Amino acid sequence: SVLVLDFGSQYTQLIARRTRELGIYSEILPYNTTPETIREHNPGAIILSGGPTSVYDENAILPHDGIFSLGIPILGICYGLQAIAKHFGGKVASSLKQEFGRAKILVKRDDNHESMLFRNIPDSDVWMSHGDKVVRLPEGFRITASSENSEMCAFESSGSKGALKIYALQFHPEVQHSLYGKQLLSNFLIDIAGIKPDWSSKSFIEHQIEDIRQKAGKETVICGISGGVDSTVAAVLVSRAIGKQLHCVFVDNGLLRKNEAEKVMSFLKPLGLRVTLADASDLFLNRLKSVASPEKKRKIIGRTFIQVFEEHMNQEKFLVQGTLYPDVIESVSVKGPSETIKSHHNVGGLPKRMKLKLIEPLRELFKDEVRAVGRELGIAEDILMRHPFPGPGLAVRVLGSLTRERLDILREADEIYIEELKSSGLYQQVWQAFSVLLPVQSVGVMGDKRTYENVLALRAVESTDGMTADWAQLPHDFLARVSNRIINEVRGINRVAYDISSKPPATIEWE
């Protein structure tokens, strides 16, 4: 395995992810992990991440000196390079020209010393993001690549220090824009450190099962299931570890898509989960009666969800959450009061007074890795590839006052839209698609009769993380077919519009 010591870079997880792509298990530990702890983990290599501080700051965060004499190969990236330079007596200075973004490196090719790290790597583009740079090379090191702005853009221990196997890069090989970054990491981990690639979704599952068993012991564990990918994979993984000690609750808030509760229950049952379906639709819908304000709706739904969930608890000590890595970075990197755009339903989590300890087996993974784990666990493809669905459900898609009748109109229309997307092979091409029922009536004509009915908006977006999004350019003939079917088949809709706004300035949902 490889140990990544984290100096606070926004890319630290990406390093871990790239190593997993190479089939190598990685763990991230804090920058100041002691040499003893490192030895206990017995890693084949250590990577020092980037970080936002400067090695000469008064409170500079530096690694333990002892890590450099463990005899384990070390690769320092960006801040990691500067920490290496400082430790071995080089000099780091703040650069007049900061270097952000793309830069071209020239690999030093010298007949006597070909750098193993740069084997098979041509002069090529890399991704830089630094203010400080090394201005004097530490003794016993040699330069292996330069860029226009930093002569000492990569260096490594050599000569009498060669056996230390210490390598340093000013740029970020873990970022996609570093064209040969993955090759470089592979050179370091596999060729130099000699690590055997044997990590896979399967071994991840085995590790997690062990961890979850240790953590939970004999205690019971609860999990709120939403029907989405993350909570499903998390729950199945935990149930593989502790079986019937896990109790799942699926809350039907009356705001789900057509037949959703049955669908979810029927795909969960064969997965061996113990699930309670909490039908609280009356409670939710009564509380939401004639509430039109989007924020009020969200608050009522959030509060009611907690109440219903609590009613189904039975002295469990642990709560399973399908938190993914992007949720983690977002919640730690966003500091200070930022304006509430929407009160997201599951972000605050459950109240502290519940005193539940968390089990978050997916917290190191990205979405596609979660899907791979889900596949390995035997979860069906159409569940793993579902679009995201917001916690407040259709409440934020029936604009204005909510009534059962309006919810049903939306359900029927949305079912047609999604069915058509799937049968045209477009469902997987967009990030998310759904329908919105507008609080607007429009005049139409049907069979020589005047109609005065609802307007429905169709939305489909392309995105990678939901933070920004572009409206999807669905084919006109496809939109024509969907519009035609909805107006003909769904009572109460006589006009369909397609939403062509991007986020920002719009958001993905309408409320």
Query: Which residues form the interface with ligand XMP (CB under 6 A)?
Result: 342, 344-346, 388, 390-392, 432, 466, 503, 507-509
Helix (H), strand (E) counts: the chain: 14, 18
Minimum CB separation of residue 129 from ligand XMP in Å reads: 27
**231 assigned ligand-binding residue:** yes
Which residue is catalytic, options 78, 153, 223, 248? 78
Which residue is catalytic, options 99, 156, 174, 364? 174
Which position has the token pair 């390598």?
167
Nearest to 179 by CA among 109, 108, 119, 102: 102
Q: How far is residue 293's CA from residue 396's CA, in Å, rounded to a whole number?
A: 10
Q: Which residue lies nearer to ligand XMP by CB, 215 or 299? A: 299
Minimum CB separation of residue 91 from ligand XMP in Å reads: 47
78 part of the active site = yes
Residue 39: CB atoms within 10 A of its CB come to 13
DSSP assignment string, 299-356: HHHHHHHHHHHHHT--S--EEE----HHHHHHHHH--S----SS--TTTS-S-GGG-P
Nearest to 510 by CA among 472, 456, 449: 456
Rounded to whole angstroms, what are the CA distances from 501 to 15, 343, 436, 471, 508?
34, 21, 14, 6, 9
Minimum CB separation of residue 347 from ligand XMP in Å reads: 7
CA within 13 Å, CB half, 245: 19
**66 assigned ligand-binding residue:** no
87 part of the active site = no
Signed CA dihedral, 30, 35, 37, 40: sign only: positive
Q: Which residue lies nearer to ligand XMP by CB, 170 or 432? A: 432
Inter-residue contact 128 to 99 (CB < 8 Å)? yes
Nearest to 433 by CA among 477, 399, 479: 479
Which position has the token pair 């509060």?
303
**Conformation bin of residue 139: beta by default, left when phi > 0, alpha when psi is -120 to 50:** beta
Which position has the token pair 């409670």?
283
3-state SS string for 243-257: HHHEEEEEEECCCCC
CA within 13 Å, CB half, 132: 24
**226 assigned ligand-binding residue:** yes
Minimum CB separation of residue 93 from ligand XMP in Å reads: 43
**228 assigned ligand-binding residue:** yes
**483 assigned ligand-binding residue:** no
Q: Which residue lies nearer to ligand XMP by CB, 247 or 345? A: 345
476 part of the active site = no
User: Strands 166-169 and 221-225: what pairing?
Assistant: unpaired
* Burial label, 258 (beta-carbon count in 10 A; 0-12, 13-18, 19+): middle
**229 assigned ligand-binding residue:** yes
Q: Which residue lies nearer to ligand XMP by CB, 126 or 264? A: 264
Q: Helical H runs in 137-228?
A: 181-186, 201-216
Minimum CB separation of residue 510 from ligand XMP in Å reads: 8
Q: Which residue lies nearer to ligand XMP by CB, 24 or 508? A: 508
**227 assigned ligand-binding residue:** yes
Q: Which two tokens stand for residue 331?
A: 């919640």
Q: Which residue lies nearer to ligand XMP by CB, 387 or 481? A: 387
Q: Which residue lies nearer to ligand XMP by CB, 148 or 470? A: 470
Q: Which two tokens stand for residue 6?
A: 């984290």
Which position has the token pair 């666990």?
377
Minimum CB separation of residue 382 from ligand XMP in Å reads: 18
Minimum CB separation of residue 102 from ligand XMP in Å reads: 29
**Conformation bin of residue 119: beta by default, left when phi > 0, alpha when psi is -120 to 50:** beta
Q: Which residue lies nearer to ligand XMP by CB, 19 or 346? A: 346
Which residue is catalytic, options 87, 172, 247, 345? 172
Minimum CB separation of residue 322 from ligand XMP in Å reads: 10
Binding residues for ATP: 226-232
Positions marked catalytic:
78, 172, 174
